[in-house]
Amino acid sequence: MTSLQASARRPPLQPGFTVPTHDLTSVLESIGSKLYVRERTLVQYVAWSVDYGLFAFLDKSGPSTIAEAAAGTPLTESGADSLLGVLSALGLVSRSRDGRYALTPVAREFFLEESPYFVGDQLEPVGPPIPRPYLRQRADFLTRVKMRLLTLQNPTLRYGTRARIENQHARNLGACAAAVRTGEFANVRCLVDIAGGSGAFSIPLALEYPAMRIVLTELPDALANVRPLLKEHGVDERVTLLPMNAFEFPWQIPECDGIFIGNFLHGFKDEACRRLCKESFDRLLPGGRVWVHEMIWNDNRDGPLITALWHAAMLSSCSGGQRTASELSDLLRGAGFLDVRTVPTSGAFAMVCGRKPGRASQ
């Protein structure tokens, strides 16, 4: 039996659901996984740091910024950012408050060639090659073909397929159920779940607040695979599906006093995120609120490990990346939101919330 066959028989969430007592992050972080089909093992990040001279550069140059590490190695800034983030979370480099990375004693002992305890040449990672965006020199033809075939052959890598929707659901349901149980949504009349994916948030929300109007927006190609999940959980008549591209403005959504943006902003640069936050502000009724739910960095951007892994994954395939709570708060404040605050949900996940000025309708 494959894992996908097994997931098809996962029991649906029921009204009165309990939130997991252990957050998924604590499990995934300990095994260096993101619960995604094309995983990159922790040893790969360390081996790439050896092979492309990142350890050697930091030894020679001392504490360095991401830009300096990229300039002194074959890595792009995305590549240096990704590798340094994972190495920081593993305790192999330290990060100062001014954004400079330095080798720790354990890295000097085991990952510098001049050390008698060097083990870098014995690391044998198995998996995809180093991502193309990590290197200034483009990958050769055979590497590009291999990565293309991986995407074509594996439906979990293609957005909107049933396999990927199921994967999103498994990854995010626990944290979204915890978000619903914070009490943040008790007074919301109509909530729009932007780019709501599998319904991992809308499903527990509908079960918890049966009187709330819930609208889940998603790309048209994905909705056919979202509907069966809603039906399996008994909320297909409670959650309205709305085909929509989140980057086509203005949003054609109903009047609402709540907008939820879950696990989405990490895919985009700040400029695009500012536009999404401003559109949320414009579409909300006066007094309405927005919740941005993301896996966040700690204040020093050196952990937790699961956030570092997701950050590296984002930079390997797009221009986004994980953010700190402060960075997400700045995005909301820049769009005009007031009373911005952070509400932890589960593991590395937290909601950053804001309120549109004005009096909420009665």
Note the pLDDT tens digit of each residue in 89-147: 999 999 999 999 999 999 999 999 999 999 999 998 888 889 989 999 864 555 555 55
Mean pLDDT value across the chain: 91
Give the model's pLDDT for residue 352.
98
| More confident site: 318 or 305 | 305
In a domain, 186, yes or no: yes
Q: Which of 86, 112, 137 is the last residue of a domain?
A: 137
Domain count, the chain: 2
Q: Do 184 and 333 belong together in one domain?
A: yes
Does the residue 30 lie in any domain? no
Q: Domain containing 54 — which CATH number?
A: 1.10.10.10
The DSSP H or E segment spanning 350 is strand 349-355
pLDDT one-digit tens code per residue, 115-130: 999 999 999 888 888 9
Q: Domain with 233 in it: what CATH number?
A: 3.40.50.150
- pLDDT at residue 93, as a whole number: 98
- Measured CA to CA, the distance from residue 51 to residue 129 in angstroms comes to 12
Query: Residue 5 pLDDT > 50, yes or no?
Result: no
Do the domain assignments include residue 113? yes
Tally the C-alpha atoms within 13 A of residue 83's C-alpha that lie toward its C-beta: 34
Tell whether 254 is covered by a domain: yes
Report the pLDDT value the prediction gives residue 125, as an integer from 0 to 100.
81
In the prediction, which pLDDT does 234 show? 96
pLDDT at 266: 96
Lowest mean pLDDT among 64-73, 120-129, 181-190, 301-310: 120-129
Claim to verify: residue 223 and residue 307 sit in the same structural domain: yes
- Domain membership flag for residue 155: no
Are 196 and 97 contained in the same domain? Answer: no
pTM for this model (two decimals): 0.91
Cα–Cα distance measured from residue 295 to residue 313, given in angstroms and rounded to the nearest whole number: 13
What one-letter code names the amino acid at 298?
Answer: N
**186 and 46 share one domain:** no
Q: Name the pLDDT band for 317 (thresholds 50, 70, 90).
A: confident
Give domain status of residue 163, yes or no: no
DSSP 162-190: HHHHHHHHHHHHHHHHHHHTTSTTTT-SE
Residues 129, 46 share a domain: yes
Confidence of residue 358 (pLDDT cuts 50, 70, 90): very high
CA–CA distance, 320 with 301 (Å, rounded to integer): 15
Q: Are 353 and 290 in contact (CB under 8 A)?
A: yes
What's the domain range around 113?
A: 39-137
End-to-end CA distance of the chain: 53
Which H or E run includes 283?
Answer: helix 270-283
What pLDDT shows up at residue 152? Answer: 54
For residues 87 and 207, membership in a common domain is answered with no
Tokens of 24: 């998924």
| Residue 148 clears pLDDT 60, i.e. is over it | no
One domain, residues 180 and 308:
yes
pLDDT of the residue at 326: 98
- Same domain for 103 and 198, yes or no, is no
Domain presence at residue 29: no
Is 153 a domain residue? no
Least confident stretch, 2-11, 122-131, 198-207, 269-278:
2-11
pLDDT, position 257: 98
User: pLDDT tens digit string along 36-84?
Assistant: 866 889 999 999 999 999 999 999 999 999 999 999 999 999 999 999 9
Same domain, 56 and 184: no
Residue 152, CA distances (Å) to 10, 146, 291 in order: 26, 10, 34
Q: Per-residue pLDDT tens for 194-243?
A: 999 999 999 999 999 999 999 999 999 999 999 999 999 999 999 999 99
For residues 201 and 250, membership in a common domain is answered with: yes
* Same domain, yes or no: 98 and 193: no
**For the chain, percent of residues with pLDDT exceeding 90:** 81
- Say if residue 326 is in the same domain as residue 186: yes
pLDDT at 293 over 70: yes
Distance of CA 343 to the CA centre of its chain: 17
